[in-house]
Amino acid sequence: MKTAFITGITGQDGSFLAEQLVEDGWKVVGLVRRSASRNLWRLRSVLDKLILVDGDLLDMGSMIDALKTHRPQHVYNLAAQSFVATSWRQPLLTGDVTGLGAARVLESVRLACPDARVYQAGSSEMFGLSTQARQNETTPFHPRSPYGVAKVYAHHLAVNYRESHKLYVVSGILFNHESERRGVEFVTRKISQSVARIATGKQTELHLGDINVRRDWGFAGDYTRAMTRMLEQDEPQDYVIATGTNWSVRCFAERAFAAAGLSMEQYLRHDPSLLRPAEIPSLCGDATRAITDLGWKPECSFDELVERMVRADLARERS
């Protein structure tokens, strides 16, 4: 049985990836950091089939130990301080976890299991203030947040380990992907949860910052499928994963309210305190390489995604 090692297994992507790998017959080992209140709800359906090991991206020894013990064939580095807004408030922590954390994963693999194939979670936030209408693997980076900067560092290091240490490393440059398992601080889930709470009488308003920003939003379960395909290629290279269409936050909110039979205008409030120090007005990905080489395409449409998230939050709020 082949073994996959996942950092960030308790997060949104980690949970979808773990389910898919278990279904595909992999032994799945997940690195989980110590917490007073361990957060395993996303892994409910596969918890008894996983091996969870204590460790932290800030502690390289814990990763070397885990890799030496379990000798994985595939390593997915999904762990990160992944929330852009927090990265302005905690830029050093973000650099340490999201940037240097990737360096520790790569070094740990080099020392403990250099034949393993590594997936590094890159981000469309690396493109930032791009001058190209659509971003692909050759688009220059212009990150606009400490998070984006940390991801650029991790991306270049992934490429560097591939070129200098001959490790099999890919950086997946994923555009925003959402689901009912998204953290509630992210705008899509904040919207779907607020809509559900308004529909059930628990909340009266939804406060948002800039609703004109446009993002290319896909479904997380589609995107984690692309990760595994990247590690199955003969030669490692980097891939953009995106739907190729972008929508404004306003569009997301309009559809979310409509999905609950509500009108957005009645409940939406503009809140200047939620504006970011530096915004990215628009991101839209060109996933041609992934579509051609990996045979990958997104299955879930934007409308289905919004409805899926609102439906799940309505069920949560009603239960």
Binding site for ligand NAP (CB under 6 A): 7-8, 10-14, 31, 33, 35, 39, 56-58, 78-82, 97, 121, 123, 174, 176-177, 183
Question: How near is the Cβ of 238 to ligand NAP at its closest, in Å?
Answer: 13
Catalytic: 317?
no
C-beta closer to ligand NAP: residue 17 or 253 = 17
How many residues comprise the chain?
319
C-beta closer to ligand NAP: residue 251 or 262 = 251
Q: How far is CA 32 from the centre of its chain?
A: 17
Q: Which residue has the tokens 């439906």?
A: 311
Residues 6+ apart with CB under 8 A from 56: 31, 33, 34, 62
Residues 6+ apart with CB under 8 A from 288: 136
19, 125, 178, 254: the catalytic one is 125
The rounded distance, in Å, linking the Cα atoms of 142 and 140 is 7
183: left (phi over 0), alpha (psi -120 to 50) or beta: beta
C-beta closer to ligand NAP: residue 194 or 243 = 243
Question: Smallest Cα–Cα separation from 62: which of 53, 71, 52?
Answer: 53
Catalytic: 45?
no
147, 161, 168, 239: the catalytic one is 147
Pairing of strands 218-219, 268-270: unpaired
- Residue number with the smallest Cβ distance to ligand NAP: 11
C-beta closer to ligand NAP: residue 7 or 192 = 7
15, 123, 179, 192: the catalytic one is 123
Catalytic: 123?
yes
Question: How near is the Cβ of 218 to ligand NAP at its closest, in Å?
Answer: 8
Question: How near is the Cβ of 73 to ligand NAP at its closest, in Å?
Answer: 20
Hey, how many other C-beta atoms are within 10 angstroms of the C-beta on 61? 11
Question: How near is the Cβ of 39 to ligand NAP at its closest, in Å?
Answer: 5
Question: How near is the Cβ of 204 to ligand NAP at its closest, in Å?
Answer: 28
Q: HEC string of 228-293?
A: HHHCCCCCCCCEEECCCCCEEHHHHHHHHHHHCCCCHHHHEEECHHHCCCCCCCECCECCHHHHHH
Question: How near is the Cβ of 186 to ligand NAP at its closest, in Å?
Answer: 8
C-beta closer to ligand NAP: residue 80 or 116 = 80
C-beta closer to ligand NAP: residue 140 or 183 = 183
Catalytic residues: 123, 125, 147
